[in-house]
Amino acid sequence: MSTFEEFTGTGPRIDALQYGNWSEKIFRQMREGGVDAVHVTIAYHEMFRETVANIETWNRMFERFPDLIFHGKWASDVALARRTGRTAIFFGFQNPSPIEDDIGLVEIVHALGARFMQLTYNNQSLLATGCYEAEDPGLTRMGKQVIREMNRVGLVVDMSHSAERSTLEAVEHSERPIVVTHANPSFWHAALRNKSNDVLKALGRSSGMFGFSLYPHHLKDKSECTLESFCEMVARTAEMVGVDCLGLGSDLCQDQPDSVVDWMRAGRWTKEVDYGEGSATHRAFPEQPSWFRDNRDFGNISEGLRARGFSAEEVGKIMGGNWLRFFEENFIPS
Amino acid sequence: MSTFEEFTGTGPRIDALQYGNWSEKIFRQMREGGVDAVHVTIAYHEMFRETVANIETWNRMFERFPDLIFHGKWASDVALARRTGRTAIFFGFQNPSPIEDDIGLVEIVHALGARFMQLTYNNQSLLATGCYEAEDPGLTRMGKQVIREMNRVGLVVDMSHSAERSTLEAVEHSERPIVVTHANPSFWHAALRNKSNDVLKALGRSSGMFGFSLYPHHLKDKSECTLESFCEMVARTAEMVGVDCLGLGSDLCQDQPDSVVDWMRAGRWTKEVDYGEGSATHRAFPEQPSWFRDNRDFGNISEGLRARGFSAEEVGKIMGGNWLRFFEENFIPS
């Protein structure tokens, strides 16, 4: 950021995770909300060929809405987005299913634009253990190999849905910093998906990044969570690990039918219903808190952070400056 | 080319088609022969996922031999190759099988580095008619759509193995120039794979390119063809269409076992033996002419062209200057 941007807090605005039912409406809301870049999920359980089909769908959207969005590949695309008044869309996976059992696909998916890959989505994967498994034996043999290859090509390790030991081992094993794109600290709201102080501190020490989630299941009081409570949580996290490793990863799943959350949770790994973070009585997508309904509401968060006592410079870092620095350092081959 | 390069004939040396049994030996021979860039075939009959596996194999070679080769994606990589004393490897397909029945894969394979795609390999494809079919009904409905998409993303239409009408229709239908990467004029050697004067003239009129082949089945007197006869053929072609649309596409298939020529010819489309350009008594790969055994012998051709009366500037164009100009204009999205 320039000094002016630091002063005014008008640096880049970056959301490190969304999975919307994409439409012109959402892209226009991104513009209204001044969102310069979004990391979008393009695979939950999809294998390689299905993931490529999802990229093809995105390519058609890039062709249809060239004035609103474009495919973001490098940190410099955030500046391009700001210069041209558009939103750069960065691809990522919430599961390693797109690389199947083939380490060579790591470089292939990076060439196709993937920039983040979770090593697990809730369950055990070929690489590591998910946060819903009873036991966490840590990184697998293939997991260690794939992390090294991800480091080499510039595909960022994301442990948002991973279990504790696997996450700490990934921080240790990875030669480049890793991230949790979307979660909250468990000291604030003790959910299986939220992260321990040990994980937060390990990310802070290793130049990693932690993206705060706005998904109600990750929030204290869920849909009733207040902006003040959210900003207080950010402040307490910053006191513990510093402000430079913090950003946003809203986990906004806008306009999705509830069949999609069923797919996210159950994929093809079970024939039964898996409620994930929900329950039999609360199976659907939860309602967003009133102060963060969609992409138009990022301004509420920056105002809330200012009100909580963060400086304009600090707010600029949390709203996107830190993610931009991370993009600059970690999307290119090593 | 700079004036100096035009004068000395030391412009870029580009071969617009090879399909070797790739090895360090061949890459070292490319360096010995001063070959700055090679368009290599990475698919004959492979579908998408198999083509990706072939790219993975190339990626491993780029990792293993970084001092000899690298993945060429843009025209500027030819300059990079010359500056760093390496050979830039450009990918292409001799068949549209890698895009299967999915027009969205055109952009995907371009993102993975593909720069040339033949619309057919000898047989009828989903897009056009191959040179060995009895009937040539011209471009198909999908063929016209795919050409438009190839034009948009910067994937060059190659009609080397296509039939006459399909080829002329492709020249007409394509908004960007098309190529025959590897063939010879049929006025010199009447083979089904060689091209009529009409095709040569159409390429010349449309800023297309024609790459002369060194594959014995495309040569007059096959393996016994003389350098003088080859250069005479180049001269007669240049008289007809000018020198600016001419280059080399050697079709060198070095060190391949004969099982590979069987695969090239029969793929999975027949259970019988197809002899292609060969015959029951000459089924194997033919022997190269003595003056063009491998990548070390490009100097023989430039000397032969000089001896036939081409100027140093003209020789520079044919040896790679024309292909470089074509790369500059046609690999980027329109």
CA-nearest of A318, A296, A258, A276 to A87 is A296
pLDDT value of position B7: 43
Kindly state the tokens that stand for A29.
Answer: 């809301």
Residue with tokens 């000395």: B8
Q: Provide the shortest C-alpha distance from residue A104 to chain B (in Å).
A: 5
The total domain count for chain B is 1
Answer yes or no: do A111 and B107 touch at CB < 8 A.
Answer: no
CA distance linking residue B281 with residue B130, whole number of Å: 24
C-alpha count within 13 angstroms, C-beta hemisphere, residue B207: 11
pLDDT value of position A277: 87
Residue by residue, DSSP assigns A124-148 as --SSS-BTTSS------HHHHHHHH
Give B102's contacts in chain A (Cβ within 8 Å): 56
Check whether B276 has a pLDDT greater than 90. no
- Which among B55, B60, B104 has the least Cβ separation from residue A108? B55
Reported ipTM: the value is 0.90
CA distance linking residue B219 with residue B243, whole number of Å: 20
Check whether B10 has a pLDDT greater than 90. no
CA-nearest of B104, B94, B112, B117 to B56 is B112
Answer yes or no: do B104 and A49 touch at CB < 8 A.
Answer: no
In this prediction, residues B70-97 reach a mean pLDDT of: 98
**What confidence category does residue B278 fall into, taking pLDDT thresholds of 50, 70 and 90?**
confident
**What confidence category does residue B4 fall into, taking pLDDT thresholds of 50, 70 and 90?**
very low
Give the nearest chain B residue to A60 (CA atoms): B104
pLDDT value of position A4: 43
Q: Does the beta carbon of B47 lie under 8 angstroms from any beta carbon of chain A?
A: no
In a domain, B5, yes or no: no
Phi, psi of A24, deg, nearest 5: -55, -40
Q: Does the beta carbon of B48 lie under 8 angstroms from any beta carbon of chain A?
A: yes
| Secondary-structure percent of chain B, ordered helix, strand, coil, rounded to 5 | 45, 15, 45
**What confidence category does residue B196 fall into, taking pLDDT thresholds of 50, 70 and 90?**
very high
Give A112's contacts in chain B (Cβ within 8 Å): 108, 111-112
Q: What is the CATH number of the domain that holds A162?
A: 3.20.20.140
Q: Which domain holds residue A213?
A: 3-330
pTM of the model: 0.93
pLDDT, tens digit only, all 334 positions of chain A: 444 444 444 799 999 999 999 999 999 999 999 999 999 999 999 999 999 999 999 999 999 999 999 999 999 999 999 999 999 999 999 999 999 999 999 999 999 999 999 999 999 999 999 999 999 999 999 999 999 999 999 999 999 999 999 999 999 999 999 999 999 999 999 999 999 999 999 999 999 999 999 999 999 999 999 999 999 999 999 999 999 999 999 999 999 998 999 899 999 999 998 888 889 888 889 999 999 999 999 999 999 999 999 999 999 999 999 999 999 999 999 9
- Which among A59, A105, A111 has the least Cβ separation from residue B107? A59
